[in-house]
Structure 1
């Protein structure tokens, strides 16, 4: 089963969001002109011009929601989860349906009154059938233009200011440490080993939990592999090649593997931090 708390690429850039809105907005009128779902091609003038207006029913909601999703992305410390993407798609689709209904009601049909039943009938008849066509393309474009961001190197590390408490599935499993003392975490089946810095060196505590649950509790935790989280303030170098890459950290001899999906963001982060990156 796919975890809804898995981090995925996020389309933060306004330009990319605008292009996605434009592409989807242009697709809908083309489908309407081709499929003619209203079955009234002979009954109203300027058919193509009027049907083109549905493009704005797509573009406007996408642009209106983008500041809100950017705000959520920011408060989640520049991380975006599958759950966020699902909620975003559902919410924005609902707005698109509402905009489309009122455009259909006032401009296309010119009906005198409407009811909530008419809105629901419109969504069932003219909204839901387009989901298998539009949503996969929408998700593909967001993934294509999306990025996974990682934080810049913290020159003031270690800064022992804020504490965090990690809690496992068993409530008795708790650990309170300084946020900056978290080093890395490794998932093994139903357990996660959390490694952290102490006055006596690196120590480890095991939690019965998932990696995604641990990550949500640690602002300094950044996923670099399906089984690993790491505090990038401890990162020293990335080594290996295109087939197999791994990182080294400053407080341990352990090496941490890097998945290809996260390598691009790490490469950018290392370049901006003037660290050496071996291809």
Structure 2
């Protein structure tokens, strides 16, 4: 059973929200023109132009809801859960049904009045049949443009108490730093570059060693790729899709790839920390 408290990617960016709204907004008129569910191929002029108006019924609810979901995302310390996504989809879908009903009622049909029963019939007859087509694409787009975001690294909350000494294969290669100052490590052939925080900013030291040997010496090191270790205290965002993901850390602009196997473990860790 899928946990509703599992952390998932969230589409925070307004640009991406508009892109999703435009794609879904364009899809519905195309489906209506193709399937003609209202059986109105012969009974009104400018059919394609008027049917295109349903795009507005999709776009407006997505734009209206976005500030609200961003607020919820913010108060949840930049976390978005499966439960949030379910509530978002259901709420927004209901608004889309309502907007579509009024557009259909007043613009398409031109009727003078309506009842609650007519709204119910419209949703069941015309709204729900499109749901299995629209929602999967909708979820895919939100996942594609979304990201898992972790709160920024904050020096004031990191205590420099425990120090660690890193030693390479050559005894002359050693480095003593605070455990919390380790940022990330990158392996290249027989060498490992260790990046760490100092008063003068991020510094680098190269060791003749293996990534696994360096990891054993750094309690804060967490493997995300066969060639990378990171300190999750510096983790800023997880981005990308199922085929290619990468992470950003607050101490550098460098993007660090994350393998699928390590992403699953990281996602599990983020989910557990949110409970």
Q: Which TM class, normalised by the smaller chain length?
A: 0.5 to 0.7
Corresponding residue of 2:7? 7
TM-score (norm 1): 0.64
The answer to whether the Cα contact below 8 Å between 2:180 and 2:220 also exists between their aligned partners in 1 is no
Structure 1 residue aligned with 2:166: none
Q: Which has the higher contact order (CA 8 A, sep 6+)?
A: 2
Q: Tell me the matched-pair count.
A: 203
Q: 1:58 to 1:84 in 2, by over 3 A?
A: same
CA distance in 2, matches of 1:121, 1:249: 64
CA positional deviation for 1:156? 1.4
**Equivalent pair of 2:247/2:256 in contact (CA under 8 Å):** no
Where in structure 2 are there 5+ consecutive unaligned residues?
163-178, 188-210, 227-231, 239-245, 258-275
Indicate how the Cα distance of structure 1 residues 97 and 234 shifts in structure 2: closer, same or farther if over 3 A, else same: farther
Contact preservation (8 Å) 1:29, 1:52 = yes
Q: C-alpha separation between the residues in 1 aligned to 2:216 and 2:64?
A: 42
Q: Which runs of 5 or more structure 1 residues have no equivalent in the other structure?
A: 160-196, 202-232
Q: Are 2:117 and 1:117 equivalent residues in the alignment?
A: yes
Answer whether contact 1:25 1:58 (CA < 8 A) is retained. yes
Pairing 1:202-241 to 2, within 5 Å after superposition: 234=180, 236-239=182-185
User: Counterparts of 2:33 and 2:254 in 1: how far apart (Å)?
Assistant: 55
* Alpha-carbon distance in structure 1 between the residues aligned to 2:98 and 2:253: 50
What TM-score do the two structures reach when normalised by structure 2? 0.65
- Once residues 255 and 15 of structure 2 are traced to their aligned partners in structure 1, the CA distance between those partners, rounded to angstroms, is 30
Write the distance in 2 (CA, Å) between the matches of 1:31 and 1:275.
Answer: 43
Equivalence for 1:88: 88
Deviation >6 Å, runs of 4+: 245-250, 275-279
Partner of 2:219: 253
- Cα deviation, residue 237, structure 1: 3.5
Residue aligning to 1:273: 251
RMSD: 3.3
- Three-state SS of the structure 2 residue aligned to 1:156 is helix
SS at match of 2:151: coil
Deviation at 1:18, TM superposition (A): 0.3
CA shift in 2, pair 1:66/1:235, >3 Å: farther
Deviation at 1:130, TM superposition (A): 0.5
Return the offset for 1:265.
2.4
Q: Which has the larger radius of gyration?
A: 2
